[in-house]
Amino acid sequence: MSRLQKLVRQFDRARGWHEVKPEHTFMHLVEEVGEVARELLSVAGYKDRAENLRSELADLALLLYKLADQLEIDLEAAALEKLAENEKRYPVEYSKLEMERYLKHRDED
């Protein structure tokens, strides 16, 4: 288990927050996704609120680590395994061609 996941576990246990059900943690996580979206829209609108975005992304990450811990998933190990799978699933050359296509269509909008 990653150091960060252990720190989140300790933080929650010290406050009794480890008693929160995973489904409620997930609801909080979804709320944070909305807050990140709002901050991204603010930044895209040329309002300099990058510090808020940084904080909201951190909230999102911490809740994701908490949820993984509640479900007894080593998030770092799972992410590394998924990255290795994605390396096979999305070869570099194919992915670059797909990205070029995406950028062409994006720029046409």
User: How far, in Å, are 1, 44, 61, 70 from residue 6 at the CA level?
Assistant: 7, 35, 13, 11
Would you tell me which CATH number, out of the four given (1.10.3470, 1.20.1630, 3.40.50, 1.10.287), belongs to the domain 1-72? 1.10.287
Radius of gyration of the chain (CA): 18
User: How open is the CA angle 22-24-25, to the nearest 5 degrees?
Assistant: 60
Write out pLDDT tens, residues 31-78: 999 999 988 888 877 566 667 889 999 999 999 999 999 999 999 999
Predicted pLDDT at 52: 85
Predicted pLDDT at 46: 59
Cα separation of 6 and 74, whole Å?
A: 10
**The token pair that represents 71 in the structure block:** 């479900």
The 8-class DSSP code of residue 22 comes to H
Q: Supply the pTM of this predicted model.
A: 0.81
Write out pLDDT tens, residues 90-108: 999 999 999 999 999 988 8
Segment 83-93 mean pLDDT: 96
